[in-house]
A and B are shown apart, each in its own frame.
Chain A
Amino acid sequence: MIRPSILVIEDDAAISRFVCASLGAAGMLPRAAASVSQAEVELGHTAADLLIVDLGLPDEDGVAFISRLRRTDPAPVLVLSARSQEWAKIEALDAGADDFLAKPFGVGELLARVRAMLRRAAAAPKLAPTFSVEGLSFDRTTRELRLDGEPVRLTPRETALFEALAARPGKVLTHRQLLSEVWGPEHVDQLHYLRIYMGHLRSKIEKNPADPRYLLTELGAGYRLADE
């Protein structure tokens, strides 16, 4: 298998070093860039299979960089955010980032995210007609959801919500993105709609809704559908 090329855009040398070291040890090809301009030079040379972007870069706002990148480059983006960058993190996800890691993070978390994102990117762009993960399956054409082979009865709104999550399994979808897709752009601030319907969905498919297996909470950011 070809070693995936990862561009690590991080200005903190210690973090950049350890991220590159562990990616390299995991059989990937990391490249380091300490600023957006450096990253653009690197990308000009060779495209990356995945980008790891710190939100506190010296020369440009990471969110602006991500939304610019998104227009031309479909490579998945993993955002690294500090505790004080909660808002920037959500903006980055809204701008098209796929996932995030809050600092400090361990190598285990990092590699798990990176591998999952690479796997998803390899499977894209054409989605399989059926999404399935451990006992749960969703037929994307008939919009039928089955749990352990039994059909789950969903209301149209619940179906739309599940469909939105299943369109990008594993990816963090922000509250705004989900509200906009399921309820319409004028409802992006009606967070309680989403909370209530997520509760309904969970009560129908989760064994223990407070400890969900499929519909995962990204606190303060959004939800994701487990894809493994």
Chain B
Amino acid sequence: MDSIGALEGRRALAWLVSLAAPAVATAASHALDGQVSLAGLAMIYMVAVAATSAALPRAAAAFSALLSVTALNVGFVPPRGSLAVAEGEYWWILAALLGLSLGLGTLLGSLRAKRAEAEAGRARASELHRLSEAMAVTQGPAAMAVAAAKFMRAATGRPCAIFLRGPADTELQAFTDPDGQPFDLRAAHWAIDNGRPVGPGSLNWPELAVWCAPFTRSGAAGAVQVRTAEGEGPAPAEADHWRALARQAGLALERERAAVAVARAEQRAEAEAARNTLLASLSHDLRTPLAGIVGSASALRVQGADLGETQRATLLENLEYEARDLAVMADNILQIARLSQPHRQLSLQWESVEDVLGAAVARMRRRWPGASIQLEVARELPLVKAEAGLLAQAIANLVDNAVRHGGDPPRVVVQAGRSGAGVFVAVRDHGRGLPPGDSAELFQRWKRGQGSNAGGTGLGLAICQLAAEAHGGSISASGWAGGAEFRVDLPAAQELEQEQEQEA
């Protein structure tokens, strides 16, 4: 209300000045009358007209100019006191005054308009700049859309929304400022699909209560929406500015999405490379037992009659063991695939280390009847949170590895005990120890034990590492005087101690 009052006050003042200026000129001319020629008096009026042209709006200035010419004519041009003009020369003076004053008014008015326009342009340019700065300090498409909506709201003084295409390319997601304002999804779809603005102030659907423009003319990733009164849109210049803002926000958002897409593609490529390495090592690992199976089976079929009873029995045994190894490998592959996923989920339960080790060792004793596998578990070990199947598989892999590399005949000792805050499991063999080099490399899934053609899977140790880590523990390998030792450390479940006492 204040601003409207001030505006009216200014307008009244302008008209007052437009009256006052000719009056002042008339008074001055009257004082100088007789000492100065008519042309000189005309110059006094000219000064008044120039002053009003510079200071007043165009209509008031023109009115003031007409008033000045009339006053000069009536007051000082002979015959005085009437609008009649006695001589041609006076006509000339009056015409010159009128022409000059109107021309000056027009010139100054248009200069003023140009200046105002330039100032508005500068303000808009700086607004665009501020928008792109606001977007640059924000990360992630959603946060950027929120920032853009907020900025648009500040710039337009109305509720605004940014519509963003979802990853599925169909859904439009709205980010509004202030939160939870209703917006027109259909209008956003139309604007994006047609690459043109809609709503009041545009050629399309001007009766809407929202103004909406896509980021770009074609293939826009989103749109900007401004809530307006029904059918009451922005002026053309303002609409242009809003579109520029929409473009700017769109550019930044598209850039961000492109960056995200690039990062994702890089990740995918990395995963792809890892998978390829894995597949290569897998096909190698699979071939070993398969060669045994094919060989044994074909020998039995082709030469079965010529083979001795013992030889046949050995081949049949081979066949079964190799096939069982394949089954173990299938389990290992399944676990690798599961544990390599970024959002793997273990079904952790309270387990006793004794149970898990007992099962793993029993399995390995069945697999390697000729090997000596000793199990030593300390009494009263705390329970651990574990996925029994996975943990047993990991330990079985360690034992399997130890048997394969553990001397002849293989002797393996599996120990479990308390270690600080947790539980450790150590698998010790009596073989040739670790290969030279970094022991951490042993756990990389494509590495295989050097100098060993005892078969087995290169995946086994990789799973042990993944499993230990998935349980919040760690694995390490070291040499000891008589061979190699692999050790898994698991955190104990401390929260349990209390419950245990309550129960007891």
Contact = CB atoms under 8 A, between A and B. Distances in A.
A198 B500 CA distance: 13
B375 A195 contact: no
Interface in A49-100: 83-84, 86
Interface string A197-223: 011001100001111100001011000
Contact of B359 (A84, A86, A217): A217
A21 interface: no
A195 B355 contact: yes
A217 B323 contact: no
Nearest to A217: B355
Contacts of A193: 503
Q: How large is the interface on B (under 10, 10 to 19, 20 to 34, 35 or more residues)?
A: 20 to 34
A192 B354 contact: no
A151 interface: no
A83 B330 contact: yes
Determine the main DSSP class of A at the interface with B. Answer: helix
Contact of A219 (B331, B380, B383, B389): B389
A104 B327 CA distance: 7
Nearest to A183: B503
A41 interface: no
A122 interface: no
B388 A209 contact: no
B359 A192 contact: no
B323 A104 contact: yes
B323 A203 contact: no
Contacts of B91: none
Nearest to B355: A217
B209 interface: no
Contacts of B354: 199, 202, 209-210
Contacts of B355: 195, 198, 217, 219
Contact of B361 (A84, A202, A211): A211
A203 B331 contact: no
A185 interface: no
B389 A199 contact: no
A13 interface: no
A199 B352 CA distance: 8
B392 interface: yes
Contacts of A208: 375
- Interface size class for chain A? 20 to 34
Interface in B463-504: 493, 496, 499-500, 503
- Contact residues of B: prevailing secondary structure: helix
Contacts of B240: none
A106 interface: yes
Contacts of B379: 203, 209
A178 B107 CA distance: 101
Contact of A210 (B330, B349, B357, B388): B357
Contacts of A210: 354, 357-358, 361, 375-377, 416
Contacts of B499: 192
B389 A192 contact: no
A64 B359 CA distance: 29
Of listed A84, A86, A191, A210, residue having the most chain B CB within 10 A: A210
Nearest to A203: B379
B324 interface: yes
A192 B350 contact: yes
Interface string A148-184: 0000000000000000000000000000000000000
Interface of B: 320, 323-324, 327, 330-331, 334, 349-352, 354-359, 361-362, 375-377, 379-380, 383, 388-389, 392, 416, 493, 496, 499-500, 503
Given A104-B323, A106-B320, A192-B493, 18 more contacts: A83-B331, A84-B334, A104-B324, A104-B327, A192-B496, A192-B499, A196-B500, A198-B352, A199-B354, A209-B354, A210-B354, A210-B361, A210-B375, A210-B376, A212-B358, A219-B356, A219-B388, A220-B389
The 4 closest A-B pairs by CB, nearest first: A192-B350, A210-B377, A219-B359, A217-B355
Interface of A: 83-84, 86, 104, 106, 191-193, 195-196, 198-199, 202-203, 208-212, 217, 219-220
8 contacts: A84-B334, A191-B350, A193-B503, A198-B355, A199-B354, A210-B376, A217-B358, A219-B389
